[in-house]
């Protein structure tokens, strides 16, 4: 999702620039002012409550605002993202917005502040008042609205300055120039959204070879825990030595080690478009860890894919692999192969079910040639890229 808040004093050009943003990024527009005016026109209880406050240039209560925003968001569950105009207008509303975004499992990408001086605001609003017919576009009320803005709304900027997602634009320039400046900010924000794919499938389903090929084709970093552990052993790092000892004693590698390695990889991978995770998360605990790790990097899971291959075919593939040079230490006997399939069923299938509930899991037929399966997976990824960038 792409969520943007347009900020600025009355008359800064928020409404005008909204039109450009909605069109370009297909966002759902939420203007608290428009919604309130509609409520007033309809004569609803809420409208009656808001009417006199708006007419005097004051701010409507946060209680009313939270109700209208929540209702609007809930009635648009499939939006690409939201564009807020005229919200948040108080420090409390900034917290409300945080809460609403968390509820949607998303976040506000940026707050773009259109900066204009007071006289420009007054001049523009008086001009607008000649046609708008708005009861609050006259000089006395305009001055009051600006006073409310300076006292209650301006402090909201500190909230976002501290969070690091506040961007200022000179709103006194031409409409086209302001749009161009906003576009630079949004594009930059979009380029930060990583494509994070989790690739599931039973052992033998082709996750490894497909995952590596897809990562290469789409500029993604391939993160597979198995090979990462082996690499540490080969490099004889401190962690590598710990892992060897654990392998020798037949114990599982604890999550603490796996997490450290993944975290290191996420930090070192600058400039990638995203990640393909294979073999992780393997357990429900690890799925919470992945959510946490990505969140720490301001990111989240974009796409979950499961490669489906019938059990008999899996056994036959793994058995065939055990007779080749590609044989893994864990493929050497039927007993080990069956154990791995059972582990997947008991520990990893619940993770897939969880993701299915949360994000939806794309089930891809893993039968056929490497190229055929690759083609099916590529289509999924290309579609995922389209919804990620909204272009
Ligand atoms: P606008 O169309 O954004 O200029 O809003 C017009 C009027 O609606 C404001 O002067 C306020 O009285 C009221 N209003 C709009 N949005 C909010 C909000 N987020 N919080 C409080 N009052 C609001």
Name the nearest CA neighbour of 222 among 262, 282, 193. 262
Quick check: CB of 9 below 6 Å from ligand 1?
A: no
Q: How do strand 362-365 and strand 195-201 relate by DSSP bridges?
A: unpaired
CB 126 within 8 A of CB 73: no
Beta bridge partner(s), residue 277? 198, 223
Both tokens assigned to 323 = 């007779």
Interval between CA 9 and ligand 1 midpoint (Å): 11
Q: Whose CA is nearest to atom 8 of ligand 1?
A: 33
Q: What is the pLDDT of residues 263-318, one digit of tens each?
A: 998 888 877 889 999 999 999 999 999 999 988 877 889 999 999 999 999 999 99
Quick check: CB of 12 below 6 Å from ligand 1?
A: no
Interval between CA 85 and ligand 1 midpoint (Å): 9
Quick check: CB of 213 below 6 Å from ligand 1?
A: no
Residue 251 is predicted with a pLDDT of: 75
Name the nearest CA neighbour of 280 among 351, 364, 230, 380. 351
Residue 387 is predicted with a pLDDT of: 66
Interval between CA 58 and ligand 1 midpoint (Å): 8
Interval between CA 100 and ligand 1 midpoint (Å): 19
Mutate to test the pocket of ligand 1, among 36, 82, 142, 152 (most ligand atoms within 8 A of CB): 36
Alpha-carbon span 220 to 95, nearest angstrom: 35
Helix (H, G, I), strand (E, B) or coil at 187: helix
Quick check: CB of 344 below 6 Å from ligand 1?
A: no
Mutate to test the pocket of ligand 1, among 61, 87, 89 (most ligand atoms within 8 A of CB): 89
Quick check: CB of 11 below 6 Å from ligand 1?
A: no
Beta bridge partner(s), residue 306? 200, 363
Concatenated DSSP letters for 195-242? EEEEEEE-TTSSHHHHHHHHHHHHT-EEEEHHHHHHHHHHHT-HHHHH
Interval between CA 182 and ligand 1 midpoint (Å): 22
CB 205 within 8 A of CB 308: yes
Q: Where in the chain is the domain with CATH 3.40.50.300?
A: 4-192, 195-226+256-389
Interval between CA 95 and ligand 1 midpoint (Å): 17
Residues of the chain with pLDDT under 50: 389-391
Residue 184 is predicted with a pLDDT of: 92
What phi-psi label fits residue 133: left (phi over 0), alpha (psi between -120 and 50 degrees) or beta?
left
Interval between CA 202 and ligand 1 midpoint (Å): 54
Give me the phi and psi of 272, to 5 degrees please: -85, 160
Quick check: CB of 89 below 6 Å from ligand 1?
A: yes
At the second CATH level, the architecture of 195-226+256-389 is 3-Layer(aba) Sandwich (3.40)
Residue 309 is predicted with a pLDDT of: 97
CB neighbour list of residue 102: distance below 8 Å, 6 or more residues apart = none
Alpha-carbon span 239 to 233, nearest angstrom: 8
Interval between CA 59 and ligand 1 midpoint (Å): 6
Mutate to test the pocket of ligand 1, among 59, 143, 145 (most ligand atoms within 8 A of CB): 59
Q: Which residues of 289-310 are buried (b: 16+ CB within 10 A; e: fewer)?
A: bbeebbeeeebbbbbbbbbebe
CB 289 within 8 A of CB 255: yes
Interval between CA 159 and ligand 1 midpoint (Å): 19
Beta bridge partner(s), residue 111? 5, 166
Domain 4-192 belongs to what topology?
Rossmann fold (3.40.50)
Alpha-carbon span 118 to 132, nearest angstrom: 20
Torsion from C-alpha of 5, 11, 12, 17, nearest 10 degrees = 60
Mutate to test the pocket of ligand 1, among 30, 49, 86, 148 (most ligand atoms within 8 A of CB): 86
Residue 390 is predicted with a pLDDT of: 39
Listing from the earlier edge strand, what are the strands of the sheet with 4-7? 28-31, 82-85, 4-7, 110-115, 166-170
């Amino acid at each position: 999702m792409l969520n943007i808040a347009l900020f600025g004093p009355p008359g800064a050009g928020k409404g005008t620039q909204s039109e450009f943003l909605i069109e370009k990024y297909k966002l759902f527009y939420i203007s608290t002012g428009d919604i309130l005016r509609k409520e007033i026109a309809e004569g609803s209880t809420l409208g009656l409550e808001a009417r006199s406050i708006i007419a005097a240039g004051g701010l409507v209560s946060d209680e009313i605002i939270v109700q209208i925003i929540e209702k609007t968001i809930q009635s648009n569950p499939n939006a690409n993202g939201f564009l807020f105009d005229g919200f948040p207008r108080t420090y409390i509303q900034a917290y409300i917005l945080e809460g609403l975004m968390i509820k949607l499992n998303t976040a506000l990408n940026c707050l773009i502040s259109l900066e204009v001086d007071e006289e420009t605001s007054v001049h523009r609003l008086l001009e607008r008042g000649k046609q708008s017919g708005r009861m609050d576009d006259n000089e006395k009320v305009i001055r009051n609205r600006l006073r409310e803005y300076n006292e209650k709304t301006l402090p909201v900027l500190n909230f976002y300055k501290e969070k690091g997602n506040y961007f200022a634009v000179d709103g006194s320039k031409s409409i086209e120039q302001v749009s161009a400046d906003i576009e630079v900010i949004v594009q930059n924000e979009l380029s930060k959204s990583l494509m994070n794919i989790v690739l599931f499938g039973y052992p033998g389903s082709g996750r490894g070879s497909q995952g590596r090929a897809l990562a290469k084709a789409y500029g993604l970093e391939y993160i597979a825990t198995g090979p990462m552990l082996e690499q540490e052993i080969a490099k004889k790092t401190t962690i590598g030595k710990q892992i060897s000892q654990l392998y020798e004693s037949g114990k599982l590698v604890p999550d603490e080690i796996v997490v450290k390695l993944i975290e290191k990889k996420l930090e070192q991978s600058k400039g990638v478009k995203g990640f393909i995770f294979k073999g992780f998360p393997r357990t429900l605990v690890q799925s919470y860890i992945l959510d946490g790790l990505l969140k720490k990097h301001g990111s989240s899971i974009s796409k979950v894919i499961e490669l489906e291959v019938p059990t008999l075919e899996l056994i036959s593939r793994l058995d065939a692999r055990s007779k080749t040079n590609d044989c893994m230490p864990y493929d050497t006997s039927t007993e080990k192969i069956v154990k791995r399939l059972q582990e997947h069923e008991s520990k990893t299938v619940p993770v897939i079910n969880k993701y299915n509930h949360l994000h939806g899991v794309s089930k891809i037929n893993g039968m056929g040639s490497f190229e055929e399966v690759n083609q099916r997976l590529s289509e999924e990824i290309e579609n995922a890229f389209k919804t990620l960038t909204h272009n």
